[in-house]
A = this chain, B = another copy of it.
Amino acid sequence: MFESAELGHKVDKKTYEAELPALREALLDAQYDLIESRAFPVVMIVSGVNGGGRRESVRLLNAWLDARHIDTHGLGEPSDEERDRPPMWRFWRLLPPKGRMTIFQGSWYSQALIDRVYGRSKVADLEEAMERNLRFEQMLADEGALILKFWFHLSKKAQEKRLKSLEKDPLTRWRVTERDWEHFKLYDRFYKTASHALRMTSTADAPWYIIEGTDERYRNLTLGKIVLTALRKRLELTQPPPRPLATLPSLPRVDEQNLLRKLDMTLRLPKKTYEKQLETYQGRLALLTREPGFQNISVVVVFEGVDAAGKGGAIRRIISALDARMYQIIPVAAPTDEERAHPYLWRFWRHIPRRGRLAIFDRSWYGRVLVERVEGFCSEYDWMRAYNEINDFEAQLVEHHIVLVKFWLAISKDEQLRRFKAREQTGFKRFKITEEDWRNREKWDQYEEAVCDMIDRTSTEIAPWTLVEAEDKNYARIKVLKTLCERIEAAL
């Protein structure tokens, strides 16, 4: 893996100075083309051995390119904010929008490598982390990101020499700490671990570039040329890289049965029973959130359902039991420009709550396999792969002790019509009914199919869907509250 980066690559001063001006100019040009076209985001990882030139390379890129359009993140220990969320959260929130570059010094590789080198984890843990990274980068590539992963390498000898020469010079002695020498003792372990990790994660979409770090001029020219060529090659594509066609059909509808039609829409709750139960369950919910154990978990509630299914009403019955500092409601509409410039799930990762808190999504990431699928806002391949990406996303939440409760509020087509008409007649509800609602209604069957596929593909053992018979609002609200209480209880 590292053979080519131990050859003693070198560039003499004359060659370097002759090549530099043209390279820098071309790099700047490419960056401006990127900014102007907003064609894709650039995700860059700078890693490697101590003293291999990571810091210097980050500085260099910021000097050669227009630093105002680069975000550089030197990620060390996670903050308390970050520790409260799944490990990938800190990287998701730093992903660049189209047209920008982000340089990660310290990335989704660092922790797993360090844990393994220090013997705090097993080979299997390293491999699991690398598989997670592969999925993450596959998603980034599918979303159009240009991924550049650099590994700056020094041979054992070169690293030792470098530390010694820094120590000798009184001016640079301060740079060598005991920790550096400790690290050096682990060189062989680090070499082996990195070799394994890099082998697993060097893919056609996101290969590792291993650069010998000994000679600064060689290192700089190599780095600059890779960045330039990669930017240019991608910019020259007149259209985004073609995605594979999803040629596989959905499950055909062979009979009239489906999950939604099977629901008992006659379920009802008389007003008196409703009021009594509402009090009971709201009280239970309030107490649950005050239990000490609640500080170790968090709760994500997802509401999906056709227009006028009663999502808002159900949400209000939940929050009236909660301390306002404890929850956040996230209404999901069409994405903003900023959201559109990021990978699809970015806008949802942003709102993952800290421990001890609740986030309630009024519509959610399922939009991709519902409205975006039915309305053709994304390609077939995009919504087909979304099932996986969503399952993967939710698995990360659940692994991090987030209680994930997903509700589908089901009403009949007739009941929707009644509610639409009632809304039109009630002054203060008129804003709730739009042309779009009527248009969506025309595609009832297509939505029904999309909903059934969604439940089939994303109702998993770790994050099941709860289908709520919502023809009667009272019944629906109590079922929601009761389910939520039970799921939190089970987690505590």
Contact = CB atoms under 8 A, between A and B. Distances in A.
Contacts of A387: 202, 204, 207
A199 B455 CA distance: 12
A251 B230 contact: no
Contacts of A455: 3-4
A173 interface: no
- In the complex, the count of this chain's copies comes to 2
B456 A1 contact: yes
B192 A10 contact: no
A141 B244 CA distance: 10
Contacts of A280: none
B226 A251 contact: yes
Interface residues of A, number: 71
B384 A207 contact: yes
Interface in A1-52: 1, 3-4, 7-11
A205 interface: yes
A391 interface: yes
A155 to B, nearest CB: 13
B4 A258 contact: yes
Interface string A239-270: 00111111111011011011100100000000
Contacts of A237: 245, 247
A487 interface: no
A91 interface: no
Interface in A140-185: 141, 146, 148
Interface in A204-226: 204-207, 209-211, 218, 221-222, 225-226
Contact of A195 (B146, B207, B226, B461): B461
A127 interface: yes
A244 B246 contact: no
Nearest to A125: B124
A457 interface: yes
B248 A1 contact: no
B456 A247 contact: no
A460 interface: yes
Contact of A244 (B3, B124, B128, B205): B205
Interface in A99-124: 124
A196 interface: yes
Contacts of A452: 4
Kindly list the 10 A-B residue pairs having the minimum CB-CB distance in the complex, ordered from nearest. Answer: A204-B384, A242-B242, A229-B249, A225-B252, A204-B385, A195-B461, A233-B247, A199-B460, A7-B257, A221-B254
13 contacts: A1-B457, A3-B259, A4-B259, A7-B262, A10-B257, A202-B387, A202-B457, A203-B388, A205-B248, A207-B248, A211-B251, A218-B255, A225-B252
